[in-house]
């Protein structure tokens, strides 16, 4: 069902400063930047490994656009740091249903739009040991969304 750790999401106050830290300290490269109005964030995906198989691992930096966004609320409660972990899947809708069948709650019934054209669903952190868990289907892969 899950093929890899896709990314670790990190909430930050200043996206540009965080990008500079990960670039200058660890040598990660920015693969993509975008504003996701639906989720209320400005984000950057930094590639953390050098594979060219389309299954790279990333650090996702998230700066809230609004204090009332999920990331804005997270920063107010917890400060900067790890916000979520994301696992890659070939079919996020099926993975979401499989998790519901196992008694876990998804934060939405259907996949939503994520970074770089992906489809995403989140699992409730109370069902995952306190960890907000994201399931990610990369753009361009088949889906069984309903």
Instruction: Give CA–CA dist 42/21, Å, rounded.
Output: 17
Q: Is residue 143 part of a domain?
A: no
Domain range holding 79? 4-137
23 in a structural domain: yes
pLDDT tens-digit map of 4-19: 899 999 999 999 999 9
Percent of the chain clearing pLDDT 90 (strictly above): 81
The token pair that represents 51 in the structure block: 């594979």
pTM listed for this prediction: 0.89
- pLDDT tens sequence across 52-107: 555 678 999 999 999 999 999 999 999 999 999 999 999 999 999 999 999 999 99
Tell me whether residue 129 is exposed, middle or buried, using C-beta atoms within 10 angstroms of its C-beta: 0 to 12, 13 to 18, 19 or more.
exposed
CATH number, position 111:
3.10.180.10
- Domain count within the chain: 1
Asked if residue 145 is part of any domain, the answer here is no
- In a domain, residue 90? The reply is yes
């Amino acid at each position: 069902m899950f093929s890899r750790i896709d990314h670790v999401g990190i909430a930050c106050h200043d996206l540009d400063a965080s990008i500079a830290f990960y670039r200058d300290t660890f040598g990660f490269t920015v693969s993509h930047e975008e504003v996701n109005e639906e989720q209320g964030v400005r984000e950057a995906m930094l590639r953390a490994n050098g594979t060219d198989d389309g299954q790279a691992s990333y650090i996702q930096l998230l700066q809230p656009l609004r204090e009332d966004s999920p990331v804005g609320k997270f920063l107010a409660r917890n400060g900067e740091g790890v916000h979520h972990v994301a696992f890659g899947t070939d079919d996020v809708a099926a993975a979401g249903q499989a998790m519901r069948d196992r008694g876990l709650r998804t934060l939405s019934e259907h996949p939503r739009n994520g970074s770089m054209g992906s489809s995403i669903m989140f699992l409730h952190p109370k069902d995952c040991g306190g960890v907000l868990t994201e399931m990610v289907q990369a753009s361009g892969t088949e889906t069984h969304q309903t």
